[in-house]
Amino acid sequence: MDEERPHRPVYRLQRIDGDQVMTVVTFYSAAEALTVLQNLPHGYRLTLDNRQVLPSSARHDDEAS
């Protein structure tokens, strides 16, 4: 890891298929991720680093796999 650069948040759109989770696309800004938030299809989730952002659930503090 480059110690000169600050940590950048990483948003991932992930497809959930049974027990499998596949990252479809990675965003490096909240503005890009917000465009996805408006139309998040069923069977997908959005994570920020290792935390699930959407769909929100009672287990929102769980780490995403």
**Phi and psi based region of residue 46 (left: phi greater than 0; alpha: psi -120 to 50; beta: remaining):** beta
Cα separation of 16 and 55, whole Å?
12
pTM listed for this prediction: 0.68
Among 61, 35, 34, CA closest to 50:
61
pLDDT tens by residue, 53-65: 888 764 434 455 5
| Sequence ranges of the domains in the chain | 1-65
Check the CA dihedral 17-18-21-27 and report its sign.
positive
List, for residues 21-41, the tens digit of each pLDDT value: 999 999 998 888 888 777 777
